[in-house]
Amino acid sequence: MASGSSTKLWGGRFSGKTDPLMQKYNESLSYDRRMYAQDIRGSQAYAKATCKAGILTPEERDAIIEGLEKVREEWATGTFVIKPETDEDIHTANERRLGDHIGTHISGKLHTGRSRNDQVATDMRLWLRDELDNIEKYLIEFLKVTAVAASDQIDALMPGYTHVQRAQPIRWSHWVMSHAFMFLSDLERLRELKKRVNKSPLGCGALAGNPFNLDREFLAKELGFDGCIQNSLIGVADRDFVVETLQWATLMMNHMSRWSEDLILYSTAEFGFVTLADAYSTGSSLMPQKKNSDSLELLRGKSGRVFGQMAGFLYTIKGLPSSYNKDLQEDKEPLFDCVTTVQNSLQIASGVVATWSIHPNKMKAALTMDMLATDLADYLVRKGVPFRETHHISGSCVQAAEKQGLSGIDQLGLEALKKIDNRFEADVLEVFDFERSVELRSSIGGTCRASVVKQIEELNKFLQLG
């Protein structure tokens, strides 16, 4: 039912009723209610600051703080009763209910010098700061689980791929750590992002600042911010922290998608390198034999969801004029959904890693001697032959084995190798060993055991220092 505009905070200017559809179109309480605790915390700090500025008496300040605690408890216990005709958003809902508890004569003073413009910007930064802490916790847990898996499964050798073609032998743990370092970069970027989120806009008013000599530094400190946004116009209009969060999430979920794609392939019967636990798989409604890696497919799919949220919100704000515009109300739904998606995704990914089973025998069976062609070239390099020449010689060996229908270049034998190039000697047969090949890659970042162990140690060291 449409209500008279006089029941709204901004109603004094209006005499007509709001179109019911417009009222529904305008409201945001259905989704911004999740910020109830942050809105109350910000209002309690604002009550302290306005008392400090002489607007509220200490008794009024205390009444507001205590009344807001009652409102918080109602939200927490699910007993808060929403009044759609007045409660447009979390701010008006909390202020209206505060008035019910302590009377509007006192509650009506709380908003002095404050606008919903700086209030919502504050709430969002407080809420996002809390949620980014949770995301960091889930990301660290994912990295820890990954490090444990890499350490426990370091003996397994598998084909490394380029262009989705078997290339050179590597350790399974080397593949595991390749993704871990992408997620580690995400963790570093997340910590940088948190610094930019943690700035206070409270006290900027609607756009021009506060006229009551409000101590904004006190407010910032009270709310745990690192400092104040220094310009009131940008304080109420800035949503870069939302954009940057969506961008960070897009990149992180892109990494999650690539990780998932590898595992989806490796879990197929054609590869058979890894099996997901039943807890992270589903079956087919038609084919009883199917075990689908739906957890990974959903992770891959939700990366597109997050990217769409980022692109959509960027498009929303790209042409906005200065200061606050109602378009900015479109910041919350994509941000809220993105945060939920990221938190759930990281927890699912941790579960996948903690419960997967790898199959080293199938990995080993997928290794083929042609993958040691580079090692064969390197053998002659160590005898002083230029690599460009050895590359050609090794290719001739591969071609010779193929023409003879042999299973690999190791089947050519010493005499056949010497006919291709007389610099091959008896020790060339030592080249045809996958473990040896892997262990030769001993430089920093390589796939030998010591190098992979070092990678795991570096990851764990970073997580401990963080």
Active site residues: 163, 284
Kindly tell me the burial class for residue 386, based on how many C-beta atoms sit within 10 Å of its own C-beta (0-12, 13-18, 19 or more).
exposed
Contacts 24+ apart (CB under 8 A), 292-297: 293/263, 293/264, 293/267, 295/348, 295/351, 295/352, 296/260, 296/261, 296/263, 296/264, 296/267, 296/352, 297/260, 297/264
Could you tell me the two tokens for 102? 């302590």
**Overall residue count recorded for the chain in this entry:** 466
Amino acid, single-letter form, for residue 341: T
Count the helices and strands in the chain (H runs, E runs). 19, 4
198 alpha carbon, distance to own chain's centre: 18
Amino acid, single-letter form, for residue 380: L
CA neighbor of 369 nearest in space, from 330, 324, 402, 328: 402
Determine which helix (DSSP H) or strand (DSSP E) holds 225, and give its type and residue range: none
- Contact call for residues 89 and 101 (beta carbons, < 8 A): no
The label of the residue with tokens 């230029």 reads: 386
